[in-house]
Structure 1
Amino acid sequence: MKQTHRDFLTELQTFIPEERLITDALRTLAYGTDASFYRLIPQIVVRAESESEIASVVKLANKMLVPITFRAAGTSLSGQAITDSVLIQLGDGWKGYQINKDATEISLQPGVIGGQANSYLAPFNKKIGPDPASINAAMIGGIAANNASGMCCGTAQNSYRTLKSMKLILADGTLVDTGNPDSVTQFKQSHKMLLDSLDALGQQTRANDTLRERILHKYRLKNTTGYALNSLVDYTDPIDILQHLMIGSEGTLGFMSEITYQTVDEHPNKASALIFFDNVRTTCDAVAILKKTPVSAVELMDRAGLRSVEDKPSLPDFIRELPEHAAALLVETRAADPATLAMQVEAIKASISHLETIQPCEFTTDPEEYAKYWAIRKGLFPAVGAVRLTGTTVIIEDVAFPVEQLADAVHDLHQLFDKWHYNEALIFGHALEGNLHFVFTQAFDTQEEIDRYDGLMVDVANMVVGTYDGSLKAEHGTGRNMAPFVELEWGKEAYALMWELKELLDPQHILNPGVVLNKNSHVHLENFKILPAADPLVDKCIECGFCEPTCPSRALTLTPRQRIVIWREIARLESISNGPNADPERLAELRKEYQYQGTDTCAACGLCSTTCPVGINTGDLTRSIRNKNNEKRTKMAQWLADHYGTLAKASRVTFAAADVTHGLLGTKAMTAITGTARKLSGGLIQQWTPSMPTGAPKIKPKPLDASSTAPKVVYLPSCASRTMGPARGDEDQTSLADKTEALLRKAGYQVIYPPNLDNLCCGMPFQSKGMFTAADSKSAEIEKILLEITENGTLPVYSDTSPCSLLLKDKLDPRIKLYDTVDFIDEFLMDRLLFTAGTEPVALHITCSATRMGQAPKLKRIMSACSTQVVIPDQITCCGFAGDKGFSTPELNASALRTLKDAVQSCDAGYSTSRTCEIGLSHHSGIDYKSIIYLVDRCTQPKLSQVASTEENSRIQTQKV
């Protein structure tokens, strides 16, 4: 670390806690990564939690002339969120929001994810204007700082156009709230010279006819190249000019600590059509026509793009037979009511009826059907990533042209791809705005490859600007890779004005220097990110960061993206360990630190795969590493697998003994004693909490009634259900197995248990630790028994724990019809039971396994039948208990559930589908969590017509009389 940064760190330590000042080699590399193809490693990472902290850091940076860069989610694509100086990350303290009475405005802190903001507005049929493809990962700070737009946003609903007010911190550390008259008045007094200068620049710009017309022309298109010079033309109040200059400034002019947006309508009625044309020109002609109709989005896909996804199972076969120059438009229209929607659809179809299409133009209002269409469009970028060669990266560029020249522009881009041999490149984009994205793969490991990339970018820049006077960056932000071309696009006069604004607002050049404006004409060819082969399980990762919001360890250690970044660096260092550039000290440090940061604190829940564009499950990498680390324990693991019944019995005894001890000592003494024991053992003794289960009673199957015609179900209780009873103090002390059996019988089923039950296990305890052989032996054992007892799959199997169900669905013979709790209730019990919804608020935790099995809609449906008030905390994904991690690494569980208590404070009880998850959920929420079986049982009565047993039916009828 440079001496300047050491001194800066010393000063930071006077007002930022040590644990939020990060300087180690592993985390500075991990946290310094964004979605771009550039790499800079910060000297210091600061996790800031408040405006006052940000202001103090900025003041210190201004005083000591230390460059700082602000980071939200790091999904930016152009290198604008990286630094080799000081990186300021947003901690948990930046997720606040407030909606006004009629939901026409929403105030958001920069750490709120865009998709979460829309979920807050959804009950009002409103949303924020910007809708980038990364909206479920990108945070408001980045969305505004890049003026990101998206598929439906256009230029009318981006951050610039929908901004109401903001709180911002300037380069001197001053905070101003443009929505607060008192703050504005005070700011006008303290910063009169600054505002006067902005006012003068605005007047000069508006008086300069040539420059004013240039600015107006440039913003007819989507444009995020350079600074928002339109603010000098669109507004006369210097406060308005100032706040609109911040939009798209990429953290180079100030820090936006809160943004108030004017919301836009989110019409509930939608219809989409995928329309195919035999050539690009006709496709673009259709775009120009559709722009005048009531469409909300028109997405263009060229033939290369369609070819990249044509083998997807959801696509019709005819796409494979499309002609070489074919293209498609994905069209969507939205309306407040079905009748208006139908009229709009007819108007759209009529407008292009004279154009020849390959297939008839048909709109669908079926959400599942049009979701497939949009999945095609959203799959284009990852489709390239999935087939790229290991070691190459995926680059997505972002340009805009006048719509009337779109066909020619597409043709010219294809010509450039041919010239520079980018044979895999494809084009798609927001056609209504003339906004095209082109995607290609690129290596940076040789000078020849770097020169090829430079040649393409120079040619693209000259074509976009020289031929079409278009935008070099329509919505992805200028960043490092387009900074050298800003003057080319805007001209000398406008470019000089941008530098004048930078000098005015950041005279010391401490705010993200080199981004947006850079006098180094080769900055786009420096500091390339290298993506070496690390493991086939993760080599397709494009480091986009879409996985991060789902990860339970994201606030504790590393996210999936960051785990892959570090594992790649370890692999790179290993590959050069015998060469002249070897760095054994760094390699040893990363290996050592990764054990805890990467392996021990990974829940391996697989939620990352649900949001990863290329479907990577980083948990697979973690299990693979654990497998290598546990090679010496293979025989012990197999012994435990072979004697699992003994292990299960011992577990029951241990839980029972702990409960007895708890009863004798009391909660306070038990917590103190076990906490001390854990510390003295170095964490070997597992964590005890008051939510620990008691020992479950041994299951005693009842004999079947041979004369009954009731349907049969094979009930497979998990080992957790068989060994863990309710916690001491739970109102209902019935074990899950007994409660489940009672509910199944209430619904008219005969319940069959597999033989040798105590010895059965799905293999999850071994699988999660990388002990694959032992895990496979247990799942094979279950498979054999289930095939026999279900008569080769004739009878359904009920599995009561979602992680076990997920694993078994992947492992078992497909003849076995295995249903998880959620699936079985939804498919069979909802029609066999009478539900009476309660009115008390209840909390629902959707486990990672349930999410991966696509059960969220079913779970919500079941819960809604049981309660009129269901609370689903919006920032909780995987709980982080991860089987036994809640015992062995309790800080993971605590971090994952750090916001749970506040979110469920109105609830008296919570429900889930995994017994181990419920331990941590109960402990960290302050309310009791249990299986949804308990709630369903409480809220239901049998339907008389579906009670199969004649004797039971007669008894119920007698009771009613």
Structure 2
Amino acid sequence: MRPRRGGPGLKVAATGQRASAASLARPPAFRGSFRAAPATLAAHSVSAGPFSIRPTAVAVPSDAEDVQTLITWAARQGTPVVPRGGASGLPAGNVGAWLAVDLVPGLGEIGNVDLTTGTLRCGAGAGAATVARVASRAGLAFPPLPSSAERCTIGGMVANNAAGARSFRHGATREWLAALDVVWPDGSRSSIEAGPDTAPTWSRELAADLSARLGGTVQDHGWPRVRKNSSGYALDRFLPGGDALQLMVGSEGTLGIVVGATLRLTPQPEERGVLLVGLPFLDSIPSASSAAAEANASACELFGRRLLDMAGLAVDPLVRDAAQGAAAVVLLEVEGDPGQVESGLAILKRWADEEGVGSVAATDEEGQERLWKIRHAASPLIARTAERGRRSTQFIEDSVVPVAAVPNYLRGVSDILERAGTEAVIFGHAGDGNIHVNPLMDLRALDRRTRVRTILEETVALVVGLGGTLSGEHGDGRVRAPFVDRIWSPELVSVFREVKERLDPDGLMNPGVILPLPGQDPLEGLWAD
């Protein structure tokens, strides 16, 4: 694969082309299924988020070579493609009005753990939780597992740079990749390894060109100073060395299709310990994060007041002393050998005592499971609100701000929601400044779309003012792409576009994701079902 210089630009962006189902005949030599039956299109028009966009056809490749055949054909035909994994994504990055490519059935293989290198090779369609179980049987772990691990795929995790509760210590997916197997927009295929020392020539040349064009570092041009980010292209990791793997991670299928990955694994910790702490004031959240860092904690999670009420924690005999009257609760976890867990918990307990706040500790497996259930119960509790005419609507669900700004972000979001006459369930990764806000929208309200648009616009302005981005682990998708030039400086957006045009000059790979199409509506497909 060699990026084109001065290519024709984003053809889809320029023409808004969309092939009809009738014009998409089965590609020659393609061995997988290729269908446009109404039921098939309907099944691939939805994902875990509130957006629904009907594709024109659905291709299900039989294996990686079949993906090559399909993409080579699509490039020649000028057919845009939308890669899909487990459909667990929220911001509409895996739905679109073109050819849907379902990577799960044909790319689910999982290799054996290589104990010498501590790695595991798998297909992009492999289930994340299944991979973790294979690693666990070898005494190893894959730390960035998200809460959707039972539904998401490794390819989806790579596409979004996904992360989970333990990202505070272990980081996101990009930290745990040794190599990627990629089918590029022209149908060629290659393996790229982590690190600039192994970067292919084209990647080093591209990085040199972009660095010269940008001038200075990305930080010089306003790169947000946040702990996590899954918005835009990862220029902070790609420049200046040209690590092609880092550029691909988080690119949401817009630069190529990941068909396989070699994962880095780590030994399972001997023990874990959990401390749940009630915070009477939101301003204590940065202090909690600092204590977690001092204790080398693996997790620093946040549960907002609304979630506490829905979970009934104020009357739960295990946690009521900590949760009663709290503005929020943080769950802190430490891991390692017995001495490290004991030391870490002691640091956290000392901090809680100094703050004068209630806490509950658990070092046994049963007690830890009970405390973690609060976090895992968030989604089912939110789903129950649909029974009362409200629906959790994920469109501001993944913003990330500097940790010191989290209290102001929470207060700002609360004000925005109050003006819109609604409320939200709030939880997330406090130690990373990555907060999940799930507005509970009244579907009976005639102005519901107007309210969503207002909440979204005002939240974007809030995040910009606090120096954050709109995604910490879910990706931009289609809902956040139209705000790229609000979050990022003109210089950085220009380089984002250069990356896209050099690697996908015809604009056929997941158009409208990360970078918007002309006139793109962030609420396209909202509640279309």
- TM-score above 0.5: yes
Deviation at 1:251, TM superposition (A): 0.5
Deviation at 1:56, TM superposition (A): 1.1
Q: Which residue of 1 aligns with 2:70?
A: 57
**In the alignment, is residue 89 of structure 1 matched against residue 102 of structure 2?**
yes
Judging changes above 3 Å, is the alpha-carbon distance between structure 1 residues 395 and 268 closer, same or farther for their aligned structure 2 residues?
Answer: farther
Deviation at 1:34, TM superposition (A): 1.0
Match of 2:66, as an amino acid?
E
**CA-to-aligned-CA distance 1:930-956 (integer Å, 9 cap, x gap):** xxxxxxxxxxxxxxxxxxxxxxxxxxx
Deviation at 1:454, TM superposition (A): 0.7
**CA-to-aligned-CA distance 1:584-633 (integer Å, 9 cap, x gap):** xxxxxxxxxxxxxxxxxxxxxxxxxxxxxxxxxxxxxxxxxxxxxxxxxx
Task: Percent identity, please.
Answer: 22
Q: Which residue of 1 aligns with 2:25?
A: 9
**Aligned 8 A contact 1:288 1:404 in 2:** no
**In the alignment, is residue 331 of structure 1 matched against residue 332 of structure 2?**
yes
**Aligned 8 A contact 1:159 1:261 in 2:** no
* Distance across 2 between alignment mates of 1:489 and 1:3: 32
What secondary structure does 1:291 align onto? helix
* Distance across 2 between alignment mates of 1:450 and 1:320: 38
**Aligned 8 A contact 2:161 2:172 in 1:** yes
Deviation at 1:313, TM superposition (A): 8.8
**Aligned 8 A contact 2:295 2:334 in 1:** no
Q: Which residue of 2 aligns with 1:201?
A: 210
Q: Which residue of 1 aligns with 2:12?
A: none
* Distance across 2 between alignment mates of 1:520 and 1:231: 28
Structure 1 gap ranges (5+): 532-961
**Aligned 8 A contact 2:61 2:101 in 1:** yes
| Residue 231 of structure 1, aligned match among 237, 240, 243 | 237
* Distance across 2 between alignment mates of 1:54 and 1:15: 8
What secondary structure does 2:60 align onto? strand
Deviation at 1:306, TM superposition (A): 0.4
Judging changes above 3 Å, is the alpha-carbon distance between structure 1 residues 44 and 493 closer, same or farther for their aligned structure 2 residues?
Answer: same
* Distance across 1 between alignment mates of 2:126 and 2:136: 15
| Residue 291 of structure 1, aligned match among 290, 293, 296 | 293
What secondary structure does 1:167 align onto? strand
Q: Which residue of 1 aligns with 2:462?
A: 463
Q: Which residue of 1 aligns with 2:41?
A: 28
Deviation at 1:472, TM superposition (A): 1.1
What secondary structure does 1:178 align onto? strand
**CA-to-aligned-CA distance 1:524-543 (integer Å, 9 cap, x gap):** 12222345xxxxxxxxxxxx
Match of 1:329, as an amino acid?
V
**Aligned 8 A contact 1:28 1:41 in 2:** yes
**CA-to-aligned-CA distance 1:416-464 (integer Å, 9 cap, x gap):** 12111123x1221111111111112235677621111111111111011
Deviation at 1:290, TM superposition (A): 2.6
* Distance across 1 between alignment mates of 2:390 and 2:191: 45
Deviation at 1:261, TM superposition (A): 2.3
**Aligned 8 A contact 2:31 2:62 in 1:** no
* Distance across 2 between alignment mates of 1:84 and 1:310: 42
What secondary structure does 1:9 align onto? coil
Match of 2:516, as an amino acid?
N
Match of 1:64, as an amino acid?
Q
**CA-to-aligned-CA distance 1:507-557 (integer Å, 9 cap, x gap):** 1111110111104455212222345xxxxxxxxxxxxxxxxxxxxxxxxxx
Q: Which structure is richer in relative contact order (CA contacts within 8 A, separation 6 or more)? A: 2
Q: Which residue of 2 aligns with 1:440?
A: 439
**Aligned 8 A contact 2:80 2:509 in 1:** yes
**Aligned 8 A contact 1:306 1:319 in 2:** no
Judging changes above 3 Å, is the alpha-carbon distance between structure 1 residues 339 and 146 closer, same or farther for their aligned structure 2 residues?
Answer: same
* Distance across 2 between alignment mates of 1:484 and 1:101: 45
**Aligned 8 A contact 2:285 2:406 in 1:** no
Deviation at 1:155, TM superposition (A): 7.8
Match of 1:225, as an amino acid?
S
Q: Which has the higher helix share?
A: 1
Deviation at 1:124, TM superposition (A): 3.8
Match of 2:227, as an amino acid?
L
Judging changes above 3 Å, is the alpha-carbon distance between structure 1 residues 226 and 521 closer, same or farther for their aligned structure 2 residues?
Answer: farther
**CA-to-aligned-CA distance 1:99-137 (integer Å, 9 cap, x gap):** 223352222211111111111111343222322111121
1:629-668 pair list within 5 angstroms: none
Deviation at 1:213, TM superposition (A): 3.1
**Aligned 8 A contact 1:221 1:470 in 2:** no
* Distance across 1 between alignment mates of 2:252 and 2:292: 33
Deviation at 1:253, TM superposition (A): 0.5
* Distance across 1 between alignment mates of 2:193 and 2:324: 54
Q: Which residue of 1 aligns with 2:421?
A: 421
Normalising by structure 1, report the TM-score.
0.50
**Aligned 8 A contact 1:37 1:393 in 2:** no
Normalising by structure 2, report the TM-score.
0.89
Question: Which structure is larger by alpha-carbon Rg, 1 or 2?
Answer: 1
**Aligned 8 A contact 1:32 1:42 in 2:** yes
Q: Which residue of 2 aligns with 1:142?
A: 156
What secondary structure does 2:354 align onto? coil
Q: Which residue of 2 aligns with 1:898?
A: none
**Aligned 8 A contact 1:165 1:260 in 2:** yes
Deviation at 1:389, TM superposition (A): 4.7
